[in-house]
Amino acid sequence: MSKSPAPKSHDERLPSLVARRDAKMARSAHRYVRGSTQRFYDWLATRRGRTAPAGPAIWICGDCHVGNLGPVARKDGVVEIELRDLDQTVIGNPAHDLIRLALSLAMAARSSNLAGVMTARMVESMMVGYEAALQARGRTKSSRTDQAVAVQALLKKSRRRSWKHLLQERLGAPKPRLPMGKAFWPLMDMEGDAVRELFSTELLRKLITSLFCREDDAEVELLDAAFWVKGCSSLGGWRCAALVAVSGASKREAATGGVSLIDIKQALPACTPHAPRAAMPKHQGERVVTGARHLSPYLGERMLSASIHDRPVVVRELMPQDLKLELDLVPAAEAAQIAQHLATIVGEAHARQLSRDERRAWLAQLRQRRSKAIDAPPWLWSATVDLVGVHEAAYLEHCRQHALAAAARSSKRPSEAFG
């Protein structure tokens, strides 16, 4: 059987990318929430969505769901849990990050078949962690001892990983070529030329050689590049993986011959509501990098903005320690502890940007009109309940439409399309 011809434009890639995204979102209600950022912000624009208080205008994540937190390595190899995907970052209302995180935790709890009361306890625990971070001036990392077992295990795994683990996971084995197939597609000629031009710049060489295990004057050679079919909500955007060789590989990198994996991701305009007259970079890639440096310093220092054929992009080297926190199944015994810990991370990211008086004022807003029924802001609980209903209904409809579309493509019955 002959292979399908390579797409002649990015537009020709889109049908396959959309189908993959829809399939991922159909796997669970929690995954649907992760891939439906626009629906969340459509709700925020409604009358019910506008009940959240206007918090201080700071850099926010904009897509603060569970999967966008996880271990992140600093240039010197130190690892902490941070926000790890800042595509939607803007100067906006921190209440939006709290609502998005509460929705994500609630849907994870429902996907884990936890009792409904556990969602209320998770929202309460969220506020305990978030408010503690504000009170501690955003400097609680060194003294944090209440990490859930699931989080501790992920951090331990992260700190043990090497470059060999990373390449084995992404490529199947450390090798100087990207395996074409399901995850990697050939670049078009003009895209390949633009990537080679990008890797010829001194700025990119300095970014790659800035890691503590490399010499500052090391040479960087582009070995291979391909279109990268990766992510969920980002499917449809342009993305590229590049393999590079760095001269003088350290002992840490010896097993891979100094081969590293670079992620080049298109920076699309954010759908996050931003503060009026917010002074943000006009270049979308620079917006993402600037937000990352405020919210996730370990990650932000490893990022660079650029342009590929008028597409704003963000470039970063993937490090072995960078992992996603997957909570498809939330253990009941740790649900509240996980919620508290993740909200502490978000609170730290917000608190670093606020003065003492701003933190006190924001805390006072958060603590207004608490009820005896739930120790959390009433607007946060109401938003969580409303959004769970909105997304549950939308998820079921998405599954129906995806099943019909998949069946039409493969001549299967709709009920078989998920098999």
Residue pLDDT, tens place only, 173-228: 666 789 888 889 999 999 999 999 999 999 999 888 887 767 778 888 999 999 99
Averaged pLDDT for residues 16-34: 84
- The two structure tokens encoding residue 262: 């670079």
Q: Helix/strand/coil (H, E, C) string of the chain?
A: CCCCCCCCCHHHHHHHHHHHHHHHHCCCHHHHHHHCHHHHHHHHCCCHHHHCCCCCCEEECCCCCHHHEEEEECCCCCEEEEECCCCCCEEECHHHHHHHHHHHHHHHHHHCCCCHHHHHHHHHHHHHHHHHHHHCCCCCHHHCCCCCHHHHHHHHHHHHCCHHHHHHHHHCCCCCCCCCCCCEECCCHHHHHHHHHHHCCHHHHHHHCCCCCCCCCCCEEEEEEEEECCCCCCECECEEEEEEEECCCCHHHHHHCCEEEEEEEECCCCCCCCCCCCCCCCCHHHHHHHHHHHHCHHHHCCEEEEEECCEEEEEEECCCCCCCCCCCCCCHHHHHHHHHHHHHHHHHHHHCCCCHHHHHHHHHHHCCCCCCCCCCCHHHHHHHHHHHHHHHHHHHHHHHHHHHHHHHHHCCCHHHCCC
By the 8 A CB rule, do 150 and 331 touch? yes
Predicted local distance difference test score (pLDDT) of residue 346: 96
Averaged pLDDT for residues 221-240: 82
Q: Are strands 90-92 and 58-60 parallel, antiparallel or unpaired?
A: antiparallel
Lowest mean pLDDT among 96-100, 298-302, 365-369: 365-369
| Bigger pLDDT: 249 vs 9 | 9
CB atoms within 10 A of CB 182: 8
CA distance 20 to 288: 25
**pLDDT above 60 for 336:** yes
By the 8 A CB rule, do 184 and 226 touch? yes
Q: Which long-range contacts (CB under 8 A, 24 or more apart) does 317-320 make?
A: 317/207, 317/208, 317/211, 317/260, 317/261, 317/262, 317/263, 318/166, 318/170, 318/260, 318/261, 318/262, 318/263, 319/73, 319/166, 319/211, 320/73, 320/158, 320/161, 320/162, 320/163, 320/165, 320/166
**pLDDT above 90 for 161:** no
Answering whether pTM is above 0.85, one says: yes
Mean pLDDT value across the chain: 86
Per-domain residue ranges of the chain: 21-159+324-416, 162-266
Predicted local distance difference test score (pLDDT) of residue 275: 93
| Bigger pLDDT: 191 vs 253 | 191
Q: Quick: pLDDT tens for 112-148.
A: 888 888 999 999 999 999 999 999 874 555 445 556 7
- Dihedrals φ, ψ of 326, to 5°? -95, 120
**pLDDT above 50 for 1:** no
